Structure 1
């Protein structure tokens, strides 16, 4: 079985690497490389090196909060009908959600921080999350710089291998997994309602909830998650220090699969 082969090919792992390289994680890397063990191993090892250098688990809210002030990307307070975490993204200047900063590194670290935090918030046994992307008003004029867009794609494709999400941008074989919805098209809106209860869905996505992003309230909630994250990694760091005979990289829990619902 390729999963066992890949695990064996990786060799001894640190506590954090073991935590990351679960069966589900290995399966995703294998799927991303058409179940070729050698190619999957190379991809996964590159991810481990990247995470060791970038240390996404050490990013904290005070560092990236300025990027979130306009609500251009945030974890929703509701879940979909299957209990999955929902991320809301508004890449355009829509309802004051703008690219309020010009820092390439800041925007990338905010993206990674949001992904890591979303993983942490997943219910036990749930490995998927949903992205709600509002393209209303999006044009090349208010798009992120090419450099940032390329780095975003690089990180998502190479270090968060999730075919369902990346298919829209990179893999035409999976285009059917992307759901486009239009507020004035009733048949189209049925797609949205299939995944998310209209009672909790924001108005801008055709729902009935008038709840809007509040940066202060969101900051309070996310700060609590930071404490949970710090405690989790502190325990792993202690274990790795005790078992220091093997030099491993610092890698967090399984990265979830994601689905896209775009408006």
Structure 2
């Protein structure tokens, strides 16, 4: 406004549009906020806060209570089924074994359930740690182990080298230093804006993934998927190796 008052311009320099200014509030706007609108907005804020509070509590219950508890019981069932399989194999291959530990009665109380959830947290932590190590190992192989295309690019054919040199010379002759400087600054600004937007999108995606935002079905869908992966990993990494080891020992003992 100060610049327009100083320059006394009435049209835009780019599009020649006539400047028009209107007040922020209409003339018939009341001097104070009506009570009904204030109550309505306050009720909406309370409803939104209560809604997200319920979503956060539900997400914490699922990810910190239900999923670890199921993971722990998957571990327990794998151990119990492995012991039962050991008894069955001992009856088939050897004499019945009496020193295999028997199942004890489970005490259903809050302390036991909380203790089982803590064990489930340890199982989840180990699973996440192995997953992160696998991703880091995959990233290391991608950066340090050359692929076939990379090897061919490191040793290009002479014709490819000549074509690349000619193209590079043509591009250097056609580029303008001033335009390049302007474009570099513009590209840097765009890259910074994209990084900020990407960070916000990643955070929103994380909230949607754990079920705090978005469709409530995403919470149960992602929790079910993680639970199935945990159970599958426990079966592959614990139950099958245990059965194979017991079978191998018993077969060697019978010879």
- Shorter chain as normaliser: what TM range? under 0.3
When you count strand as a share of all residues, which structure comes out higher? 1
* TM-score for the superposition, normalised by structure 2: 0.23
* TM-score for the superposition, normalised by structure 1: 0.23
Instruction: Flag the structure with larger Rg.
Output: 2
